[in-house]
Amino acid sequence: MEETVALIKPDAVERNLIGKIVERIESNGLEVAAMKLVSLTKKEAEGFYKVHAARPFYGELTEYISSGPIVALVLRGENAITKWRDLMGATNPENAEPGTIRKDFAVNLEKNSVHGSDSPESVSYELPFFFSAMEVVK
Q: Catalytic residue numbers? A: 115
CB 137 within 8 A of CB 34: yes
110 binds, among Mg ion, ligand IDP, none (CB under 5 to 8 A by kind): ligand IDP
Burial 1-36 (b: 16+ CB within 10 A, else e): ebbbbbbbbbbbbeeebbeebbebbeeeebeebbbe
Per CB under 6 A, the list member of 2, 63, 118, 135 interacting with ligand IDP is 118
Q: How far is the CB of 20 from ligand IDP (least distance, A)?
A: 18
State in Å, rounded, how far the first CA of the chain is from the last one. Answer: 11
110 touches ligand IDP (CB under 6 A): yes
> Which spans of this chain sit near ligand IDP (rule: CB under 6 A)?
52, 57, 60-61, 91, 109-110, 112, 115, 118
